[in-house]
Amino acid sequence: MDIRPVAIKKSNEFMIYCKWTDGFESTVTLKHLREQCPCAHCEEDRKAKESKPIFNFKKFSEGMNDLVKLDKIGTYALAATWGDGHKAGIYTYENLRSIFEEFVMSEDEIKKIEDETAENK
């Protein structure tokens, strides 16, 4: 079966929702999506973090977890542009699906973030 997203949208500034051709749907945080950025640079960062966890905290840059846009690449991937200007990450549908499965948020977690965002408005 051809597994690809049929709907993908930011729920708010912290979360993104995706529904797939096979009916699977889930929400993950933009932070997780960014942390799993598949570009070579971020891949290296993740490997370094695994081997020396204490010394390799990922540097926080302003806007890094703000998803500015997702551009379709052919029929197999989405390219993400982030608020800090990072746009090297091309998420294949396969990769994207594994992120949306691995970091799926529970209804409670989603509600908590929704409540917190509502309070700050």
The residues that touch Zn ion, with contacts defined as CB under 5 A, are 37, 39, 42, 88-89
Q: Give the tokens for residue 26.
A: 């889930």
CB of 6 or CB of 73, closer to Zn ion: 73
CA distance 76 to 115: 35
Distance of closest approach, residue 40 Cβ to Zn ion, in angstroms: 8
Smallest separation (angstroms) from Zn ion to the CB of 102? 17
Laid out side by side, the sheet with 90-92 consists of 67-73, 77-82, 90-92
Our CB check for Zn ion shows the closer of 20 and 100 to be 100
Q: Which residues contact 47 (CB under 8 A, 6 or more apart)?
A: none
Min dist CB 32 to Zn ion, Å, is 13
Query: 37 vs 96, which CB is nearer to Zn ion?
Result: 37
